[in-house]
Structure 1
């Protein structure tokens, strides 16, 4: 079975924004860390970025204008002083018409580990989870602090690349701690056990969607009954587990339709359906068009 293509930063920039000028701004091991001005990067985007996913996390902080990006099954618009995160492995797409300025940063989990970090930070920063809230609105003071931290990292990276990780890593961690103060948890004010199970369910769906479509499968992995899982997920998210599963299937299919030339029947098989007609009905229910129509739209864009 062919795997959905997952881009590393170098492959992504080469595919969607090929430019020697941009290459000169990106230094060292891009799979570990990179930072640049939004206007310096996205002026080189020549085509809309169709459904894709990355090996690393990324974040966008705007100082002017606005930006629209689809992350998972939701579309987000951010403005000056706001941030948008795309966790590693999450499906994202965006068009080329936005006019804005700000900072773009891409980083591996390793940037939060090692000398100045620890594994607890990865648990604390919910916005780096595929089920977390990617859009964060910062108050004026926090936006100012975040802007200063980004500028300091950008200066260090521009002058020395990744040579001084003892500077870059603490600044990045401090920045995320500032962001975390303004972050509103997805399931705030809910029962702790229900939140924990729901978050684990969403993570398992993300990891197993190509071969597990039944609520009972995930209930078994969580050692609870399907009815109990259904109750907890609906209580905390106001959405049934079946809908979370269906939406994730559609996102997976959109990546395949965008990145491959597989026949629709093969795309259906790749996401776990032998019945192409059922897959087509499911896709149309959520996207308002058939897989064939979606692929045609992507090619035209």
Structure 2
């Protein structure tokens, strides 16, 4: 093997790695149970899939107990296998996919815009402007499609991200608030308490106790 062949192999390996991590990053938001709709965040596996899920969980526990090199990577890989297994059992990605009207197209565009901008853009009127429609029209579409207001949908996405981050015990409440563009920590605490009935610390304490 000459040096040019070796370079080609190394370059191919780098490109494959970049492609793999790009797919991994983009797949996260495509898993249907990671969404803002509470009814879609729980999935009951079919009977023939349960043994596979149990095997994956057993592998995760084995890795956790043994603490070998790359344990966190192995656990992550097994979690992805579990997500893929679960996602393949979901018949549709969201309650609006069965509708094909113009309003449903706008609704999907609205949800995509929220996913891209929820940390910075919080007002329905700003999303309406991005869609070139009025705020009233956007609210009408949301009510028509999923019986929620535009403001509720935006807020649910922010709340979902806050919950995910609160489970990471290494992040302080103030840091999480800053990452979500709540520059006043007290306001972030009030926001979480209003919509979960728990303070951020009380919410995360549930997971401390479980772990």
TM-score, normalisation: structure 1: 0.44
In structure 1, the residue matched to 2:72 is none
How has the CA–CA distance of structure 1 residues 214 and 185 changed in structure 2, closer, same or farther, with 3 Å as cutoff? closer
* Equivalent residue in structure 2 for 1:242, among 145, 151, 154: 151
State how 1:131-210 maps to structure 2 within 5 Å. 136=89, 183=92, 186-187=95-96, 190=99, 192-210=101-119
Q: Which has the higher helix share?
A: 2
Aligned-residue Cα RMSD (Å) equals 3.6
Match for residue 51 of structure 2 among 101, 104, 107? 101
Alpha-carbon spacing, 1:76–1:135, altered in 2? closer, same or farther (3 Å): farther
Q: How does 1:41-52 map to 2 (within 5 A)?
A: none
CA distance in 2, matches of 1:200, 1:187: 12
Structure 2: state its 5+ residue gaps: 1-15, 57-77
The residue that corresponds to 1:55 in the other structure is: 25
Deviation readout 1:256-296 (Å, 9 max, x if unpaired): 22235343233222212223333223212332311111222
Residues 263, 236 of structure 1: alpha-carbon distance in 2 compared, 3 angstrom cutoff: same
Indicate how the Cα distance of structure 1 residues 209 and 82 shifts in structure 2: closer, same or farther if over 3 A, else same: farther
Between 1 and 2, higher relative CO (CA 8 Å, sep ≥ 6) is seen in 1
Q: Secondary structure of the equivalent of 1:235?
A: helix
* Superposition pairs of residues 16-95 of structure 1, within 5 angstroms: 32=20, 55=25, 57=27, 71-73=34-36, 74=38, 75-80=41-46
Matched, 1:253 2:162: yes
CA gap of 1:191–1:232, structure 2 versus 1, over 3 A, is farther
Gap change, CA 1:201 and 1:188, over 3 Å in 2: closer
Q: What secondary structure sits across from 1:295 in the alignment?
A: helix
- Cα distance per residue 1:202-254 (max 9 Å; x no partner): 11111111111111111111111111111111110111111111111112212
Name the counterpart of 2:11.
none
Deviations 1:164-220 (Å, cap 9, x if unpaired)? Answer: xxxxxxxxxxxxxxxxxx548622564621001111111111111111111111111
Matched, 1:285 2:201: no
Superposed CA deviations along residues 140-174 of structure 1, whole A, max 9, x for unmatched, are xxxxxxxxxxxxxxxxxxxxxxxxxxxxxxxxxxx
3-state DSSP of counterpart to 1:57? helix
Residue of structure 2 equivalent to 1:274 = 183
The correspondence of residues 109-124 of structure 1 with structure 2, limited to 5 A, is: none
Given the alignment of the two structures, is residue 231 of structure 1 paired with residue 137 of structure 2, yes or no?
A: no
User: Alignment partner of 1:299: what SS?
Assistant: helix
TM-score by length of 2: 0.61
The whole-number CA distance in structure 2 between the counterparts of 1:220 and 1:300 is 44
Q: 3-state SS of the aligned residue for 2:167?
A: helix
Assess if the C-alpha contact under 8 Å between 1:219 and 1:225 holds in 2: yes
Which stretch has the larger CA shift, 233-242 or 280-289? 280-289
Structure 1 gaps, min length 5 = 1-27, 34-53, 59-68, 84-99, 108-127, 129-133, 138-181
Greater strand share, structure number: 1
Aligned match for 1:213, one of 119, 122, 127:
122
